């Protein structure tokens, strides 16, 4: 097992309901360290660029509108196998399928408004971290 970094986003449905602290507590309880964090507001264009991999999916436009609908908290989580560990803490995409105790089981409102994003592999984690943060902003 190796120490990894992964990009996490607390999505607008969660920031709107003031859940940032509760979600961060779940990351920290799982042994993930928040080594960078900022609250920003994405434009629809920036959301579209970030989620470009989903361009052909039927929900792409809805997803971009949603991600631009309110503030998000972008963060870098660090820890042993952080990419997979974060996906575990997040739970399944659809909250109806998410395991008990996961962020999405407890907080997500729907398959679209599902409270958190997490990188799914080492290459996407590196690209997504670089999209939002400079090296100087990552303080382990």
Residues belonging to the active site: 117
Nearer to ligand ADP, 5 or 117 (CB): 117
**CA-closest candidate to residue 127, choices 26, 72, 53:** 53
109 is a contact residue toward ligand ADP (CB under 6 A): no
Q: Is the dihedral of CA 116, 120, 121, 125 positive or negative?
A: negative
Site string for ligand ADP, 10-49 (x = CB under 6 A): ----------------------------------------
122 is a contact residue toward ligand ADP (CB under 6 A): no
In the bound complex, what is the minimum distance in angstroms from residue 135's beta carbon to ligand ADP?
A: 25
Q: How many residues form the binding site for ligand ADP (CB under 6 A)?
A: 10
Cα separation, 101 vs 109, in Å, equals 15
What SS3 state is found at 132?
A: helix
Angle of helix 20-29 relative to helix 82-90, nearest 10 degrees, comes to 130
> 18: exposed, middle or buried (C-beta count within 10 Å: 0-12, 13-18, 19+)?
exposed
Site string for ligand ADP, 43-82 (x = CB under 6 A): -----------x----x--xx-------------------
**Residues at the site binding ligand ADP, with contacts judged by CB under 6 A:** 54, 59, 62-63, 93, 111-112, 114, 117, 120
């Amino acid at each position: 097992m190796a120490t990894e970094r992964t990009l996490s986003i607390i999505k607008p449905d969660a920031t709107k309901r003031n859940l940032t602290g509760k979600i961060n507590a779940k990351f920290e309880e799982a042994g993930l360290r928040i080594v960078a964090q900022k609250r920003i507001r994405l434009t629809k264009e920036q959301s579209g660029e970030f989620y470009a991999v989903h361009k052909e999916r039927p929900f792409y436009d809805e997803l971009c509108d949603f991600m631009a609908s309110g503030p998000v908290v972008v963060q870098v989580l660090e820890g042993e196998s952080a990419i997979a560990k974060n996906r575990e803490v997040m739970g399944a995409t659809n909250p109806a399928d998410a395991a008990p105790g996961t962020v999405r089981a407890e907080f997500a409102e729907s398959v679209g408004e599902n409270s958190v994003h997490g990188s799914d592999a080492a290459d996407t984690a590196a690209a997504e971290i670089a999209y939002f943060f400079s090296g100087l902003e990552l303080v382990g």
